[in-house]
Amino acid sequence: MMIKTHPLHGSNKLKLGVFSTNADGGLAITDVPERWTASWQDNLTAAQIADRAGLEFMLPIARWRGFGGRNKVREWSFETFTWAAALAVATEQIGLFMTVHVPLVHPLYAAKALATVDHISQGRAGLNIVCGWNPKEFGMFGTPLVEKGYDQAAEWIEILEKLYASDQPLDYEGTYYRLKEAVSRPASLQVPRPVTMNAAFGGPGRDFAAARCDYLFTTFSEMSDAGKHVADISERADKVGRNVGVYTVAHVVCRPTMEEAQAYYTAMPSIWSTTMRSMLIWQARRSSRSRMTRMPMTATGSVSPAAPAPTRWLERRKRLPPRWRQ
């Protein structure tokens, strides 16, 4: 079988991808009528457009439970292994990630599913490793949140790599996993395993990315902070003799002119449900970043202290020309 070079290993210094199309609303938690519905046809069309345009990857979120509110935000989402497998058949060049909650997906199953997508896509699969944070989501599985999630993740990825490295049965005794005569064939086409990414913000997650992954996915609200984040992960990776790239998220507002794009962006802040506001406050307190509770969000999901109140948003939207509402 011909193995394609993964796009993240391509020559473009700036890699571009599309994030969160598999989930209702994408990244915008909003009531606007044009919000992303995440239908299968929309996902397929977006992936094919991105593929033809030469973008490097599609990156989904892993979501098992929505956030509630009027729109039941992200309750609708496609599971990422099957999502990537289907898109692999319908695209030719773009990299296709799967996002996996370590505590909810056994590494033996993940190894088999990931290798399957890598073969279907001829070497374009990618793995985004996350440890999870939502107790209600984990409660659906009867699984508690792990206190040291990245310790479990280290065992998880070690098992996956060992399964790919040999066709001999694997016995494994760890703190979180015990495997007896485990095998997983075929191995992935990419060696030693598909491209890996870790979405992390805190120190333990970044240390894990530095030691075990190819890329760190993180967020920041100011471009001036970008260099600090890159320097931080580079320093962590240097300590273990590795080189790790950094990806972040940006929102794009597309309109025929800059003036129209700016008007839409200014006039369309998100209307947050009570549930989402409570969740944001809970997350902020949990991570000791209480300043987040005082910062409203724009329609694109970016932090914006100047975002208008919902009532003002409704009035301003009524004054928009019809074509700006599309």
Q: What sign does the dihedral 102-108-111-113 (CA atoms) show?
A: negative
pLDDT per residue as tens digits for the range 108-152: 999 999 999 999 999 999 999 999 988 999 999 999 888 889 999
Task: Phi first, then psi: give them for residue 325, nearest 5 degrees.
Answer: -90, 0
- Could you list the beta-strand ranges (E) of the chain: 17-19, 57-59, 95-101, 125-130, 170-173, 178-182, 195-199, 215-217, 245-247
Percent with pLDDT over 70 in the chain: 82
* Residue-averaged pLDDT of the chain: 83
CA distances from 299 to 28, 29, 257 (A): 6, 7, 19
pLDDT for the residue 268: 65
Summarize the confidence of residues 74-90 as an average pLDDT: 96
pLDDT per residue as tens digits for the range 217-232: 988 778 888 888 899 9
Domains of the chain as residue ranges with CATH: 7-199 (3.20.20.30), 258-325 (no CATH)
Q: CA-CA distance, 307 to 171, in Å (whole number)?
A: 55
Q: Exposure of 214 by Cβ count < 10 A (0-12 exposed, 13-18 middle, 19+ buried)?
A: buried
Of 23-37, 92-106, 301-315, which range is least confident?
301-315
pLDDT for the residue 70: 80
Residues 6+ apart with CB under 8 A from 164: 111, 115, 184, 187, 188, 191, 192, 193
Pairing status of strand 178-182 against strand 195-199: unpaired
Residues 6+ apart with CB under 8 A from 289: none
Q: Token match 């997906």: residue? A: 105
Return the top range by mean pLDDT from 146-150, 177-181, 293-297: 177-181
pLDDT for the residue 269: 54
- Asked if omega into 186 is within 30° of 0 (cis), the reply is yes
Please state the pTM of the whole predicted model.
Answer: 0.81
With contact defined as beta carbons under 8 Å apart, do 135 and 148 qualify? no
Enumerate the β-bridge partners of residue 165: none
